[in-house]
């Protein structure tokens, strides 16, 4: 029993050490930041395992402008071999107050995802079909979740995965509730 308690104590010590180490960071000025100050800082660009930052998306295939200065810029809509289309973009708050896009959620009762883009859809106008965001077996959307309190001048990456329309469909309308739709091209 004491060996088990010793192991549990060692694991607890490691968890506490990791938690304490994660509470602070250094800002651009080299000053130590802690608690909420560190959480307010901006994340460094991911490097993908190299010293070079991962390039930020520069291509724009569509843009939706919504209420309160919210802009959704779509960077890609890629058809993959598994029969899916993944749409990637960036949501930016160009307004003056924090924004939580609750209207972007799906109204489906069995959906579990909250504060997400689960209400997005792709519309095939010619085929007269609407494609909804895919769900996993637990009822969670295959999309960005946790979009809460987007501060002024802040941008966040977003994605949503849909069933792919037929191969001959090269353009669809991307829709988010409470925003105008935009025609986008599917690549791949």
Reduced to 3 states, what is the DSSP secondary structure of residue 87? strand
Per-residue b or e along 49-87, where b marks 16 or more CB atoms closer than 10 Å to that residue's CB: eeeeeeeeeeeebbebebeeebbbbbbbbebeeeeebbb
Q: Give me the architecture of the 62-185 domain, per CATH.
A: Sandwich (2.60)
**How far apart (Å, rounded) are the C-alpha atoms in residues 112 and 153?**
29
- In the chain, residues under CATH classification 2.60.40.10 are 62-185
Asked if the model's pLDDT at residue 74 lies above 90, the reply is yes
Inter-residue contact 170 to 179 (CB < 8 Å): no
pLDDT digit string, tens, across residues 78-125: 999 899 999 999 999 999 999 887 767 766 655 555 668 888 999 999
Q: Which residues contact 102 (CB under 8 A, 6 or more apart)?
A: 115
Picking from 164, 180, 167, the residue whose alpha carbon sits closest to that of residue 85 is 164
Q: In the predicted model, is pLDDT for residue 4 greater than 90? A: no
Burial track 128-138 (b if 16+ CB lie within 10 A, e otherwise): eeebbbbbeee
Instruction: List pLDDT tens digits, range 139-187.
Output: 788 999 888 889 999 999 999 999 999 999 999 999 998 889 999 999 9
The total number of residues shown for the chain amounts to: 188
- Per DSSP bridges, beta strands 70-79 and 62-65 are antiparallel
Q: Residue 75: pLDDT above 80?
A: yes
Would the pLDDT of 72 be above 70? yes
Instruction: Provide the percentage of residues in the chain whose pLDDT is more than 70.
Output: 63
Report the Cα 1 to chain-centroid distance in Å.
Answer: 45
């Amino acid at each position: 029993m004491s060996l088990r308690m010793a192991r549990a104590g060692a694991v607890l010590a490691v968890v506490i050490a990791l938690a304490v180490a994660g509470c602070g960071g250094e800002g651009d000025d080299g000053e130590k930041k802690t608690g909420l100050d560190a959480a307010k800082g901006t994340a460094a660009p991911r490097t993908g395992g190299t010293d070079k930052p991962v390039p930020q998306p520069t291509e724009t295939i569509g843009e939706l402008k919504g209420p309160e200065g919210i802009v959704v810029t779509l960077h890609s809509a890629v058809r993959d071999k598994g029969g899916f289309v993944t749409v990637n973009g960036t949501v930016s708050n160009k307004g003056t107050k924090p924004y939580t896009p609750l209207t972007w959620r799906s109204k489906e009762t069995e959906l579990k995802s909250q504060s997400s883009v689960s209400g997005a859809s792709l519309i095939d106008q010619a085929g007269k079909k609407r494609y909804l965001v895919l769900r996993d077996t637990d009822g969670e959307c295959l999309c960005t979740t946790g979009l809460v309190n987007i501060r002024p001048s802040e941008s966040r990456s977003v994605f949503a995965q849909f069933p792919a329309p037929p191969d001959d469909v090269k353009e669809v309308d991307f829709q988010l509730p409470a925003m105008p739709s935009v025609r986008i091209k599917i690549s791949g």
